[in-house]
A and B are shown apart, each in its own frame.
Chain A
């Protein structure tokens, strides 16, 4: 016994076996989807249906009343599969599909194959033919505003692409015979899976019924698990955002530091002076290895981990779709090389800081003959800035009078007043430097240029000490020790006041050396 249906083809009623019906139905669906994209395609299908009705009618008589699957097979053989029916012009079209891809309108679905939470971003990416990352990023960025609400609305409103046809539709691909074939195959597989799921579920519910009390606990546990997973995802995303922001800002400031090193800052005697990282690195690192290497090494050594941090952040947000197959190992190797190179040169450079040596230069100061006080000042010439505004060390590039830039350095000396051990006044210029050995350190210290001059009762100190051209920076420093005998009265100007030892020296007051101590004289205007 077989189940049969009544069907109406082109106005004629047929009795048809169930399996025959399935076969015929599938065939007609194939035809429809094949011809639906052609002009007058519906008409073609109708004509073919009419022909099918005619052929079937020829087969039916008193003895044969039901259409069987053999009949349908024969008809299909006679009429041919859609692919065989192709018209010449059609075939030409088939060969250049991109032109006709537009014919298939896209539809928005949630993409279950490309989802991180619900597949909204994936579906939108497919619909707009863009990387879903942008939509995800948009959602993440608007996360705290309208994001969750909008997402939930989209989630509810946009249907899920359940079948392959829908997924193809989602991506705007033609639904042709090959695709349909694939669809059918997948349908079968899905059915199999669903069946398995169904049986598993049945078993499950059977077990649960057996142990009914476990049901509630299970549900609570399941709910907790879901909440936990969601929270973990959320924390991951937030962490990712944090990583990206941190990485980007550090990277930006670091790159800014290295590549925009000339910060116009100060004016010396009319020459514009720029603070320069290049000048600093040039003067810091030992010769032999070019500064470019150091800069590159630093760039990679610091920049790469920051980029890694950003990538990690992206991965946290977007999941493993961010491909990092080669990033990790490559980055690691490059980073190690960079660190080695940088470390080596830093090592050499540090070695050059090992020993410290000081050289002293004594300069006599003439005590004024009259009752005038000695006046100490620092000549800032026409500087617009206060002396103490300058850093102790300045690395800069200077416009050379002849044109071009010159790396340069200058340091601000320290100044101190001390009671003299004898009855003379003198200045000791203590120049200090570091070096790989004592001799080198001493040589460097001797090369520091600094001076002062006296005219009458005025002693004028140089504002800066300088290094000879090409000299490396090895913590060179100058300290000006001014020794004054008993009862010497002296004044300091406002520049010295800022940098002087002892700290209480003030440009408004006069001081005197009494009993090997510096004392303030109250009456300054007598």
Chain B
């Protein structure tokens, strides 16, 4: 149970970065993001995404436009704002640093044992 909780928290931590990254690739709508996140096993319930998107949009990192769809009603397509791009770069850099450092830490430990 403890591990589950920590795992969930770790995923939660990088969720924002992943969303920004997905949107940074190309304009997407919510279901695309969900598909991506699910394949990466990053979210458990889909509902989690929506409040997060709204918050990111409200803090000026995202914007959206309506786009007609071949099958059904128009969809909200998200893209990064300039601020969002900067944020993504910062977070990415931080992630790579963190990854490297954490890896080093884990590997050095293994060697010591």
- List residues of chain A with CB under 8 Å of any chain B CB: 10-12, 35, 38-40, 43-44, 47-48, 50-51, 53-54, 57, 77-82, 84-90
Q: 8 tightest CB-CB pairs across the interface, nearest first?
A: A80-B45, A85-B47, A80-B47, A79-B47, A11-B73, A40-B54, A87-B51, A47-B50
Contact in complex: A51, B31 (CB < 8 Å): yes
Contact in complex: B58, A88 (CB < 8 Å): no
Residue among B44, B54, B58, B72 having the largest count of chain A Cβ atoms under 10 Å: B54
A43 (CB) vs chain B CBs: closest residue? B54
**Any chain A CB within 8 A of the CB of B46?**
yes
* A87-B51, A88-B12 given; 9 more Cβ-contact pairs under 8 Å: A12-B73, A40-B55, A47-B54, A47-B76, A50-B73, A54-B72, A79-B46, A80-B48, A86-B48
A43: chain B residues at CB < 8 Å are 54
Interface residues of B, dominant DSSP: helix
Contact in complex: A48, B47 (CB < 8 Å): yes
A35 (CB) vs chain B CBs: closest residue? B51
Q: Distance (Å) between the CB of A42 and the closest chain B CB?
A: 10
**Any chain A CB within 8 A of the CB of B102?**
no
A48: chain B residues at CB < 8 Å are 47, 50
Contact in complex: B72, A53 (CB < 8 Å): yes
Q: Distance (Å) between the CB of A35 and the closest chain B CB?
A: 7
**Any chain A CB within 8 A of the CB of B30?**
yes
A12: chain B residues at CB < 8 Å are 72-73
B15 (CB) vs chain A CBs: closest residue? A88
Within 8 A of A (CB), among B12-41: 12, 30-31, 34
| Complex-state Cα separation, A90 to B54, whole angstroms | 12
What is the count of residue pairs linking A and B with beta-carbon distances less than 8 angstroms?
70
Kindly identify which residue among A40, A50, A57, A78 contacts B58, using a CB–CB cutoff of 8 Å.
Answer: A40
Chain B interface size, as a band, is: 20 to 34
A88: chain B residues at CB < 8 Å are 12
Assuming the A-B contacts A39-B58, A51-B31, are A85 and B44 also in contact, with contact meaning beta carbons closer than 8 angstroms in the complex?
no
Q: What are 11 A-B contacts defined by CB distance under 8 Å?
A: A10-B73, A39-B58, A40-B58, A47-B30, A47-B54, A48-B50, A51-B30, A54-B31, A80-B48, A81-B45, A81-B47
A80 (CB) vs chain B CBs: closest residue? B45
Contact in complex: A86, B73 (CB < 8 Å): no
Within 8 A of A (CB), among B51-91: 51-55, 57-58, 71-73, 75-76
Kindly identify which residue among B47, B57, B58 contacts A84, using a CB–CB cutoff of 8 Å.
Answer: B47
B54: chain A residues at CB < 8 Å are 40, 43-44, 47
Contact in complex: A47, B12 (CB < 8 Å): no
Contact in complex: B48, A51 (CB < 8 Å): no
A79: chain B residues at CB < 8 Å are 45-47
A85: chain B residues at CB < 8 Å are 45, 47-48, 50-51
A78: chain B residues at CB < 8 Å are 45-46
A38: chain B residues at CB < 8 Å are 51
Q: Distance (Å) between the CB of A376 and the closest chain B CB?
A: 107
| Complex-state Cα separation, A88 to B14, whole angstroms | 12
A86: chain B residues at CB < 8 Å are 48, 51
B53: chain A residues at CB < 8 Å are 47
A89: chain B residues at CB < 8 Å are 55
B75 (CB) vs chain A CBs: closest residue? A50
Residue among A12, A80, A87, A88 having the largest count of chain B Cβ atoms under 10 Å: A87
Assuming the A-B contacts A10-B73, A50-B73, are A84 and B45 also in contact, with contact meaning beta carbons closer than 8 angstroms in the complex?
yes
B9 (CB) vs chain A CBs: closest residue? A88
Q: Distance (Å) between the CB of A306 and the closest chain B CB?
A: 62
Q: Distance (Å) between the CB of A227 and the closest chain B CB?
A: 58
Q: Distance (Å) between the CB of B46 and the closest chain A CB?
A: 5
| Complex-state Cα separation, A82 to B52, whole angstroms | 13
Contact in complex: B47, A82 (CB < 8 Å): yes
Q: Distance (Å) between the CB of B112 and the closest chain A CB?
A: 34
| Complex-state Cα separation, A57 to B58, whole angstroms | 29
| Complex-state Cα separation, A10 to B50, whole angstroms | 16
A90: chain B residues at CB < 8 Å are 51
